[in-house]
Amino acid sequence: MKPYSAYLFDLDGTLLDSTDLIVETFRHSLKAVANLEVDAELVRRHIGIPLKDQYPIYLQGRPMALPMEETLQLHMDYQLTIWRDYLKLFPEVGETLAALKAKGAKLAVVTSRRIASAELYTRGVGIWPYFDFFITPESTPKHKPDPGPALEALRRLGVPAERALFIGDATFDMQCGAGAGCDTCYVSWGHVPPHEVTPKPTWVLSRFSELLVSP
């Protein structure tokens, strides 16, 4: 792993171990608005795209009892009541972010999670202060896998793509980062085996602290 001037991090599934939280929230909300039981593995495969784009995947044209915006509000209201019981950092995340920041690296989060919960959760687990910027669905007109969010992060950080690394746990992340011209890094705890990820990542992490290793 070589050193970079900037590191762009996906949030859910990369820094935050939030899979069980997300699955439980979808189970509750889809049952409430469509009387639908959702398969947990289906939800896991689609973590990383904006919330409003996930619902049509699960509903498949099934009618909802509430309009989409009210459904999304119900979804987040419920998640905010249970997140403390489910959410935690992946191992070595806090220590590695602190070390990267101490070395002078610029750090940004590039997430499909909206800013309100992104801020709440990262403050709650103690990593909010390490980041220079948060790029969320409110930040750009297009979202992952489009490169727009990564390009916006690079613009705000003032770092060229060739000096930046995009780290994520999903194909959407690799597509976003590579499309912006960044090197990419796939975390091996993602839901897809590394050899199945496209485009092929520049690096694969087995431990988060490997971001600190350089030749």
Give per-residue pLDDT as tens, 129-170: 999 999 999 999 999 999 999 999 999 999 999 999 999 999
pTM of the shown model: 0.88
Q: Are residues 46 and 113 in the same domain?
A: no
**Structure confidence by residue, pLDDT tens digits, 84-113:** 999 999 999 999 999 999 999 999 999 999
Distance of CA 137 to the CA centre of its chain: 11
Shared domain for 58 and 149, answered yes or no, is no
Which residue among 10, 12, 169, 173 is the active-site one? 10
Full residue range of the structural domain in which residue 58 is found: 19-86
- For residue 56, give the CATH number of its domain: 1.10.150
Rounded distance between C-alpha atoms, residue 204 and residue 206, angstroms: 7
- Report the half-sphere exposure of 81 (CA within 13 A, side-chain side): 9
Q: Look at residue 45 in the predicted model and tell me its pLDDT.
A: 84
Verify that 161 and 207 share a domain, yes or no.
yes
Domain count along the chain:
2
How do strand 88-89 and strand 183-187 relate by DSSP bridges? Answer: unpaired
Instruction: Give dist(CA 55, CA 147) in Å, integer.
Output: 22
Which amino acid is located at 23 in the chain?
V
Whether residues 122 and 132 fall in one domain:
yes
| Same-domain pairing of 165 and 113 | yes
Query: Contact, 151 vs 180, CB < 8 A?
Result: yes
10 is catalytic: yes
